[in-house]
Amino acid sequence: MNSLGIDIGGANLKVSDGREHRIIYFPMWKRARELKTKLRELSMEFGADRAGVVITAELADVFKSKREGIQYIAEICSEVFADVFFLDVEGRLSKEIDDPLKFCASNWMASVSFLVNEGFKDFLFVDIGSTTTDLIPVKEKPTAGKTDFERLKRGELLYMGVLRTPVFYVLKRFEGADLCPEYFAITADVFRVTGDIGEDDYNCETPDSAGKSVEECMRRLSRTVCCDLEELGEKKAKLLAFRAKDAMIRILRREIVTRLSEWDLETVLACGIGEFLVERACECIRLSEKYGTASKLFPAFAMSRLVEKA
Amino acid sequence: MNSLGIDIGGANLKVSDGREHRIIYFPMWKRARELKTKLRELSMEFGADRAGVVITAELADVFKSKREGIQYIAEICSEVFADVFFLDVEGRLSKEIDDPLKFCASNWMASVSFLVNEGFKDFLFVDIGSTTTDLIPVKEKPTAGKTDFERLKRGELLYMGVLRTPVFYVLKRFEGADLCPEYFAITADVFRVTGDIGEDDYNCETPDSAGKSVEECMRRLSRTVCCDLEELGEKKAKLLAFRAKDAMIRILRREIVTRLSEWDLETVLACGIGEFLVERACECIRLSEKYGTASKLFPAFAMSRLVEKA
């Protein structure tokens, strides 16, 4: 039987058996009740009754607390798979959840544990997903904080990604106007307009429920400065997208440089659906060069490899 | 027959006949199709077949363009009321929409036109609503920009209000952690916890669809730093709320002082459901003292008075 690596995020399910990979948009805050059905489907599709699971969806606001979130999700996984392992933030695989709080947001630990097993040493691991960016220093061993709150404080978790981040969070002003904090446009709109992602890569919902064509993205971007596309014009809508992209590269570069110097590191290992952005921010090794598309869901891929050996 | 003043916003319908006032949460991006039914109800309830209308909902992303938004809304108003006037950004009342773009976001013009008629002169008008804040200098005449984009650039439109603004927009960091740009908590949660508003004042939806108790608000506030309430603790969740409130007061004070000095003005006239916040930011005349609860929906109240005379 196959072993599946599963990374259960707030917005996406990421699944890999080491050869085949799937990212499924699955907004937990809306669809938590369908999780069991979805995991059963995936278990059949991959022919897998063994799974390694990491969870970050416990923060989704459908759960009252992280404890409740971890317990709910872990229970479902144990029901669906005959054999299931969970990874905690210390890097231990276990079949039981003793203390739920140790199993919150441990997906980065899967990635770096796997990379250390692969022979990489002393590096900064940078994984940009749809919503967040992990910056994990590994110096002899992983040195990152063990909770999201800790990692936020230490700059090891940037709440910025290449699809779901509201544009006004990365770009504060455009042409002298403050971008308005309405959920009008997201970074997926930015990267559609800059040409970095295709319509298929834009796998989350659009803020206005309209389509994902470049024109529709520009329409959404225009609203961020209280304009429609007619008023702002295509030229400026495009400029706004490139400015937002530049702003993200600058933020990323600043944070990467700071983490590298804090830990006296030189090597950056980049992955995630936003790998292309890390490449623009600094010299790095792109994990897609060695692992192909597994780079896009590296924690899930890493889990599939870690449980194979477990 | 009664004359109604109606301010059709993106998130709220505000209606006044000069004596009675109603604020109805009506998210246009979801409920545009129910607008006619709702307005008919209000017309009957108030016994009014004459209305004065100002519109800001044209920016709602259910409309492809502002032109489309204004036309859609104006047509419905003309169907519901026998006699209807629209106010443009120059302060003119007209029965027909010739150029839709002149009728975008003119609600502040209703307020200042009325105040000038009332004998006020040379003042800064500050209206804080659920979502935005208008800062309109009147020096001999209203001097504000004529589009939202212009007003954003000139600091005459702050996209910040006391209910719907995401907390991470007003407070960037807490305890060394960047607040995360997920739609976890809004300023209504802040002011519930600080005690400035009651459960009934929180008239929009909660981000997590949970309740509006202080505990539920603290739960939402905790998520802004990737914590649950158990992890952050009540004391810090409250502190976060007070920090966010302070940050809003500071922003408001800075912008008010700047507008006053730009136009060499001294008087601030404050209104809106966030009037209490202006009072904390500067010396001001609270319009609630003269006009009672009409302060909470001043443009609608002003329109009812302007059309009475038309």
Q: What is the pLDDT of residues B19-44, one digit of tens each?
A: 999 999 999 999 999 999 999 999 99
For A289, residues 6+ apart whose C-beta sits below 8 A from its C-beta are none
In three-state secondary structure terms, A263 is coil
Q: Do B149 and A226 touch (CB under 8 A)?
A: yes
Interchain CB contact of B175 with A (< 8 Å): yes
Q: How many helices (H) and strands (E) does chain A have?
A: 13, 14
Whether residue A184 and residue B227 make contact (CB cut-off 8 A), yes or no, is no
Which of A152, A223, A230 comes nearest B225 by C-beta?
Answer: A152
Min Cα distance B289 → chain A (Å) is 31
Give me the phi and psi of A248, to 5 degrees please. Answer: -65, -40
**Does the pLDDT value for residue A310 go beyond 80?**
no
- What DSSP designation does A272 have? S
Count CB atoms within 10 A of the CB of residue A194. 16
Judged by CB atoms closer than 8 Å, whether chains meet at B226 and A157 is answered as yes
What average pLDDT does the segment A191-207 reach? Answer: 97
Dihedral sign, CA of A143, A147, A152, A157? positive
Q: Do A64 and B228 touch (CB under 8 A)?
A: yes
ipTM associated with this complex: 0.95
Q: Of A29, A56, A61, A218, which to mutate for an interface test with B (greatest number of B Cβ within 10 Å)? A: A61
Please give the angle made by the CA atoms of A214, A217 and A218, to the nearest 5 degrees. 90
3-state SS assignment for residue B178: strand
> Which residues touch A123 (CB under 8 Å, ≥6 apart)?
A115, A138, A265, A267, A268, A269
The verdict on A175 touching B (C-beta cutoff 8 Å) is yes
Taking only the tens place, the pLDDT of each residue in A93-150 is 999 999 999 999 999 999 999 999 999 999 999 999 999 999 999 999 999 999 999 9
pLDDT score recorded for residue B98: 94
Q: Which residues contact B289 (CB under 8 A, 6 or more apart)?
A: none
Q: Are B51 and B17 in contact (CB under 8 A)?
A: no
Tens of pLDDT, residue by residue over A151-185, are 999 999 999 999 999 999 999 999 999 999 999 99
CB-based contact, B99 to chain A, within 8 Å:
no
Q: Tell me the chain B residues in contact with residue A158 when contact means C-beta distances shorter than 8 Å.
A: 178
Residue (of B86, B113, B116) closest to B102 by Cα position: B86
Does the pLDDT value for residue B310 go beyond 80?
no
Tell me chain B's radius of gyration from C-alpha atoms: 19
User: Can you give the pLDDT at residue B18?
Assistant: 95
CA dist., res. A152 & res. B1, Å (int):
60
B248-278 exposure pattern, b = at least 16 Cβ within 10 A, e = fewer: bbebbeebbeebbeeeebeebbbbbbbbbbb
pLDDT computed for residue B70 by the predictor: 98
Please name the residue of chain B whose CA is at the shortest distance from the CA of residue A221.
B61
